[in-house]
Amino acid sequence: VGGKLKAAGEAGAGTDEAPESRILVFVRLRPMSRKEKEAGSRSCVKIVNRKEVSLTEFSSENDYLRLKRVRDSQFCFDSVFPDSTTQAEVYSTSTADLVEGVLQGRNGTVFCYGATGAGKTYTMLGTMENPGVMVLAIHDLFSKVTQRNHSIKLSYLEIYNETVRDLLSPGSPLNLREDKQGTVAAGLTQRSVYSTDEVMELLQKGNKNRTTEPTLVNETSSRSHAVLQVAVEYRSLDGVNLKVGKLSLIDLAGSERALATDQRTQRSIEGANINRSLLALSSCINALVEGKKHIPYRNSKLTQLLKDSLGGSCNTVMIANISPSHLSFGETQNTLHWADRAKEIKTKTQTTVNEEVLDQPDSKTMLVLELQKQNSV
Ligand code: ADP
Ligand code: MG
């Protein structure tokens, strides 16, 4: 049963240390699909109020038609989104504040967690008609960035079978390395973008490059983690200061305990690796919650990449996606368990922004900046 929630930042108030906040955790319930209805699904998820959700376990015993209620468990989160919630509502409640921070030179991360088919990609990428968090965040950035000395750059990568690949220009696998801004993928394409339409097109194209494998359980299902990184650079008018805010938006692979299905083929190896990244994620979550000294980030590519977001100075949001159907009870229970655990993770509030003093610009840059300055008044 979920405990009481404390407001972000509350924990460290009144001390000299960097104030602590915690990962904000949201749950999004998707509508029952036609397939689920046809299979005789009953809803096992009930939204109690804006923050609470209850999960009912049914037992069919030998009589499939007469499901018996076994028990209810209740969970509390920062917000619970019913199936009628729009993409814009999900964005404004979960992510809009992070975007504000990024504009001021802070880092933010949003990741979607849940079983295959629970609505992660719909939430993150969405469709042309109903764009998701990735697109709405960038749209919001464009509308707030009016000065010419801002630039927005995108990179989009996937982690598949513990290999990192560039989704914007697919080619050979990339290596991860540490630098002073955190973990970066060496040689990853960074694309400057100027309009929301361009971004949508880029992401749709990138998503086609994602590795999907048909499994025996689902026709197609995402076996990879997709990570969109948006870097917003702000150069002061005199060209001396550079602020960089980084927003990471992550569509994780399905969290179902894959795969008891096809043991002798590629898919069992795949399953092991998906488990490796998600398992490593759960080990890190556990270690962080328990306040351990050593957090095993290096156990997988995903946790290496998420190191900053989980344990560093970063504002982090988790969106847990769930299906209402009682046929997915096990997956939903698993998702709510990890979501409940994740809200215990303390992060450090970033009190300073990512800012550096650049070398004195050369004379040509000075001239450009001077002209910009004149034009902006
Ligand atoms: P996942 O990425 O978690 O495997 P998807 O996002 O692909 O799952 O969702 C599975 C299906 O359910 C898709 O057809 C998607 O369009 C639909 N879907 C998911 N969430 C919603 C929602 N909130 N409203 C309407 N349709 C949804
Ligand atoms: Mg998906």
Ligand nearest to the CA of 123: 1
| Whether the CB of 35 sits within 6 Å of ligand 1 | no
Model pLDDT, residue 240: 76
Q: What is the mean pLDDT of each run of 10 residues along the chain (377 residues)?
A: 44 48 92 96 96 92 70 96 98 96 88 94 92 94 79 92 92 89 89 89 87 50 83 82 87 70 46 68 83 90 86 84 95 92 76 68 62 59
Q: How far apart are CA 76 and CA 54, in angstroms?
A: 9
**pLDDT given at position 358:** 66
> Is the beta carbon of 118 within 6 A of some atom in ligand 1?
yes
Residue closest via CA to ligand 1's atom 18 equals 119
Distance (angstroms) between ligand 2 centre and the Cα of 86 equals 18
The CA 11 to ligand 1 mean position distance, Å, reads: 36
Residues 73, 335 contacting (CB under 8 angstroms): no
What is the distance in A from the centroid of ligand 1 to the CA of 256? 16
Predicted local confidence at residue 22, as pLDDT: 80
The CB-side HSE value for 353 (13 A sphere, CA atoms) comes to 19
CA nearest to 354, candidates 53, 102, 54: 102
Give the model's pLDDT for residue 113: 94
pLDDT at 207: 86
Lookup: tokens for 168: 């914007």
**Looking at residue 319, what is its pLDDT?**
98
- pLDDT value for 306: 86
Beta strands 150-160; 191-192: pairing state? antiparallel
Question: Which pLDDT belongs to residue 374?
Answer: 64
Which among 37, 122, 135 is the best mutation to test ligand 1's pocket, defined by most ligand atoms within 8 Å of the CB? 122
Q: What is the pLDDT of residue 214?
A: 47
